[in-house]
Chains A and B, each alone.
Chain A
Amino acid sequence: MEQLDYDVIIVGSGLAGLRTAIEILRRDNGRLGIKVALISKLYLMRSHSVSAEGGTSAVLYPEEGDSFELYAWDTIKGSDFLADQDAVWRFVHLATQEIRLIERWGVPWNRREDGRIEQRWFGGLSFPRATYAQDKTGFFEMRTLYDTLLKYDNWDRFDEHFVTSLVLDGNKFVGFNTIDLKTGNMRFFRGKAGIIATGGNGQMYRITSTASSSTGDGYGIAYNAGIPLKDMEFVQFHPTGLVPKGLLITEAARGEGAYLKNADGERFMKKYAPSKMELAPRDIVSRSIMTEIREGRGVKDEATGIQHVWLDMTHLGKEKIEQKLPFIREMGFKYVGIDIVNEPMPVRPTTHYEMGGINTDIDGKVQSLSGPIKGLWAAGEAACVSIQGSNRLGSNGTNECLVYGYIVGNDVYNYILKENPPMPNIPAGKLEQEQDRIFSGILGKESGGEDVYQIKDELKDTMEKYVHVYRTAEELETAVKKVKELKNRYKDIRLTDRGHTFNYNLQHALELGFLLDQAEITAFGALMRTESRGAHARLDYPKRDDEHWLKHTLAVKGADGPSFSYIPVRITMWKPVARVY
């Protein structure tokens, strides 16, 4: 197997991965000659961060009434008090400098008349502090970060390399095993420092707003290496996903004044969040929509039979829609065939974000049950610090990627500068074992009769039906049993494509392995947590239980399924209070 040595290896090329790479190269500026490898299973600029639409929050106008305390309070209350408050306090200070710094690098933020950056209202915020660029904020940020990264020389890009496993030596990072999709050969990357920034796992569900590349590879390789995953049962359902596929209709539509209406034409949010109405946090709006649908006030789509409600923007006027929401109008034309200036849009909750992730501390260092893993960091959606707690506010995702790109980049650079670690040794036999597992165990296997796509279909339907917005004990138990059955069937799969170049069949089989593990952790974790908090809502335990459940869930790989333990939440600013809007 080919082996490549680098100082820093970054897996994942979304906002977090690119920002980390820029920070390391910028701090170094040629002094130590640090070489960075950027690995991604897609081409650069194809990562799912380009679909982020709404905005990026930061405190830019303290003179107009905003303050760091207010932003921290919004985030912590929005997370239903499961966020670690010291991490949130640090985060709200660093977001401001990030917005201004990437503005220098060329992001075309929307401006006020006098030339300063403009901000707008967003869900769950008490001050309009979401900075935005048209309605494609994530795309412009990715564009700018990619262009800025081209300025530096000391990095190599490895596009379309699929990471299959993480190699650790005890509690030290050694490297990543990858398959080069272009040739079909395996390549091992050995490094002094490794960063996982692979994003989320929305493809577990049928109706999802995520790309087909969001299969949680980072979670899968960390879990297989024995690293705990934190809070995986908190899956965010974005309230407005376009029926039938679940494509994202940004929260900015509600920020600009759209109404949510049920089959009777009433704005039903006044029953659930009377002061914030449609701009309540996402979990509250999703639950409200699902309640309306369950109680029979939803609208049925004739073509697919999916129940939905209406998102009404007809009162905003053509000019405002063209200025602020042009992409939504285009999606209305292209995917549903309506003009949102005249007609409402059919929407339904869709899977959007995974609040949980790889267990890290406030600096982004990965923590196992017995202490930190030396040389391994995680950033962005793949990590769980946790800033988002049990529910993420809108516009808090992109700035977490940017801020943690900055923090992890600096931490890695200081680590290499001050500790000068040597290149690690590879534990004997690990590489050959991995190569055997993939080439003989999966690609070359002759026996077995299961089809990868069949199992994936059944997994998606299972999760959509049993582990959705509202959960009950019976549904979750059914889900756990079904996922275990699918995992047994997964051992029996047989690939049809035996080629080496661009074997997507093999890639999909490996991704399915990761998804099955995470589905098991999510369903099981949801079953164990007997309370309702944030995005996790149990019909049989409808209240929040701070006495027993103010703690993070940790799931570690065991002999036949995950084994759970719990760690406390760090409360340093506000004690939990009732969460009403």
Chain B
Amino acid sequence: MNKRYKSGLFNSLNPTRYNLERWSYTLHRITGVILALFLIAHIFEIYHVTLGIAGWNQTMEELSNLGVIELIGMWIIAGSALYHGANGLRLILNEVFGLLLGKPRLPEYPYSPLSLGRNQKIAIYTITLIVVALWIWAGLYLLAGLGIVRW
């Protein structure tokens, strides 16, 4: 039996029964994939500038008449960028500067690890609140563009 038991994509992204940081890891991965696909679409869109002024103007024309579905898609991408960026900053603080992890000390029962301790959880909740607030604001902005809400 050389096959490893229950390994693979689904299990690596499954955060149930684990800790809060595992949820934020899963979300970071999913938003990362969304942003990667967006990057490809964005480059494809910008490519139209090589078609000259007429092609560029046509592209801009199409972009100002967007339907609801495309706007919801952009909203999701905006949320992804906000979350991925903010969480990324937290990860840089953890990995490059070693902050929010707590100093090494003797393990004391019941062994709540300091790297998942109070400071870390405060950081995650703060980030999530700020991101959600900015996301709702972005949503309102898009709805104003549709004319539903007056800005």
Q: Which A positions have Cβ atoms within 8 angstroms of B?
A: 134, 322-323, 326, 329-330, 333-334
Contacts and interface: CB of A to CB of B under 8 A. Distances in A.
Interface stretch (B103-111, B116-124, B136-144): B103-111
B110 A326 contact: no
A329 B110 CA distance: 10
A330 B110 CA distance: 8
A134 B110 contact: no
Nearest to B109: A330
Instruction: Please report whether the interface of chain B is mostly helix, strand, loop or mixed according to DSSP.
Output: loop
Instruction: Please report whether the interface of chain A is mostly helix, strand, loop or mixed according to DSSP.
Output: helix
Q: Which 4 A-B pairs rank lowest in CB-CB distance, beginning with the nearest?
A: A330-B109, A333-B109, A326-B108, A329-B109
Contacts of B107: 326
B110 A333 contact: yes
A322 B110 contact: no
Nearest to A326: B108
Nearest to B107: A326
A326 B105 CA distance: 13
Contacts of A326: 106-109
A334 B111 CA distance: 13
B30 to A, nearest CB: 38
A502 to B, nearest CB: 13
A323 B110 CA distance: 15
A326 B107 CA distance: 9
Contacts of A334: 109
A222 B37 CA distance: 69
Contacts of B106: 134, 322-323, 326
6 contacts: A134-B106, A323-B106, A326-B107, A326-B108, A326-B109, A330-B109
B119 to A, nearest CB: 22
A326 B106 CA distance: 9
A329 B106 CA distance: 14
B41 to A, nearest CB: 50
B110 to A, nearest CB: 7
Nearest to A329: B109
Contacts of A322: 106, 108
Given A329-B109, A333-B110, A334-B109, 10 more contacts: A134-B106, A322-B106, A322-B108, A323-B106, A326-B106, A326-B107, A326-B108, A326-B109, A330-B109, A333-B109
Looking at B106, B109, B110, the one whose CB has the most chain A CB atoms below 10 A away is: B109
Interface string B26-45: 00000000000000000000
A265 B107 CA distance: 33
A140 to B, nearest CB: 13
Interface string B66-90: 0000000000000000000000000
A169 B107 CA distance: 52
A389 to B, nearest CB: 37
Contacts of B109: 326, 329-330, 333-334
Interface string B87-113: 000000000000000000011111000
A118 to B, nearest CB: 15
Nearest to A330: B109
Nearest to B110: A333
A308 to B, nearest CB: 23
A329 B107 CA distance: 12
Nearest to A134: B106
B144 to A, nearest CB: 57
B20 to A, nearest CB: 24
A322 B106 CA distance: 9
Contacts of B108: 322, 326
Nearest to A333: B109
A298 to B, nearest CB: 29
A196 to B, nearest CB: 34
A334 B110 CA distance: 10
Contacts of A134: 106
A340 to B, nearest CB: 11
A329 B108 CA distance: 9
A333 B110 CA distance: 9
B105 to A, nearest CB: 11
A334 B108 CA distance: 13
Nearest to A323: B106
B80 to A, nearest CB: 43
A323 B107 CA distance: 10
Contacts of B110: 333
B5 to A, nearest CB: 16
Nearest to B111: A330
Contacts of A330: 109
A199 B107 CA distance: 30
A334 B106 CA distance: 19
A333 B109 CA distance: 9
A323 B105 CA distance: 11
A322 B108 CA distance: 8
Nearest to A331: B109
A326 B108 CA distance: 7
A330 B108 CA distance: 8
B46 to A, nearest CB: 54
